[in-house]
Chains A and B, each alone.
Chain A
Amino acid sequence: MNASGETVLNLSEEDILSYIKNRPPMLMIDNAVVKPGRSSRSKRVFKEDEWFFKCHFPGNPLVPGVLQLEAMFNTAALAIKTLDGLKDKTSNISRIKNVSFNAPILPSDEIVISAEVVKEYRHGIAFFHAEISRVSDDAVLAKADFVLSIPDDMNIIDK
């Protein structure tokens, strides 16, 4: 718990793997600090030999936007999957809007991914705003709003 009495979880990669089903190389975060139901903040350092730099793009390596989104989704999932009873349930991303990629992410960049719950989890869904920023200069590199859903908690209607 922090000074405000909130539960705060410091998660290693091993801990993260127990909460979300992504596995390397599609796990896009290294560690995270999570306030269950409220927010999650994770980190990732992109090594020069990451698999996607070889093909995206030869001679001009950039982190693909789709993987930046995946990093936001991984981070957001932790804020919900750490709530009681949700650890083993499958989560999906069901809506995405207001996506922007403001600047490229390059080999050796260290990024912070922040995901804030903007509408609390209920009826099987939560609304998120997420941002990626670069550690070296705090520049915001990407943003997105999205809905995370847990189909097992929406089972009162068709999934």
Chain B
Amino acid sequence: MTNREKYVAAYVEALDVNEGDVEELEYQSIEAWDSVGHMSLIAEIEDAFDIQMETDDIIDLSSFKKGIELLKKYGVEID
């Protein structure tokens, strides 16, 4: 699995969305991405890349695109 596939899969699993719908997702843009969905997503991303995110980054991960930017800090490059 590529890093992008893992990243997309985290959204699909945590938020129960289709792969094709993840690119434009933002926090609270869909019902499933509420506070609990957010923490589920963080857990999925941490498991997928074997990382532990800092609190500031957990707060800042406000969209699919923002997450790609934040993950660079953890050595995760997503094409």
Determine if chain A interacts with chain B: yes
Provide the main secondary structure of the chain B interface: helix
Give per-residue flags for B21-57: 1 if the beta carbon is below 8 A from chain A beta carbons, else 0: 0000000000000011011101100010000000100
> How far is B14's CA from A87's CA once the two chains are assembled, in angstroms?
27
Which of A124, A125, A147, A149: most chain B Cβ within 10 A?
A125
Q: How far is the CB of B36 from chain A (nearest CB, A)?
A: 4
A157 in contact (CB, < 8 A):
yes
B58 in contact (CB, < 8 A):
yes
Q: How far is the CB of A115 from chain B (nearest CB, A)?
A: 18
> How far is B36's CA from A124's CA once the two chains are assembled, in angstroms?
8
A95 in contact (CB, < 8 A):
yes
Q: How far is the CB of B62 from chain A (nearest CB, A)?
A: 10
Given that A95-B36, A125-B36 are known contacts, is A156 also in contact with B59, CB under 8 Å in the complex?
Answer: yes
Instruction: Show the binding face of A for B, using Cβ within 8 Å.
Output: 94-95, 119, 122-125, 127, 147, 149, 154, 156-159
- Known: A95-B40, A119-B43, A123-B43; 8 extra A-B contacts, CB below 8 A, are A119-B47, A122-B43, A125-B39, A125-B40, A125-B43, A154-B36, A154-B39, A156-B55
Which 7 residue pairs are nearest across A and B when measured between Cβ atoms?
Answer: A94-B36, A123-B39, A125-B39, A149-B36, A157-B35, A156-B55, A154-B35
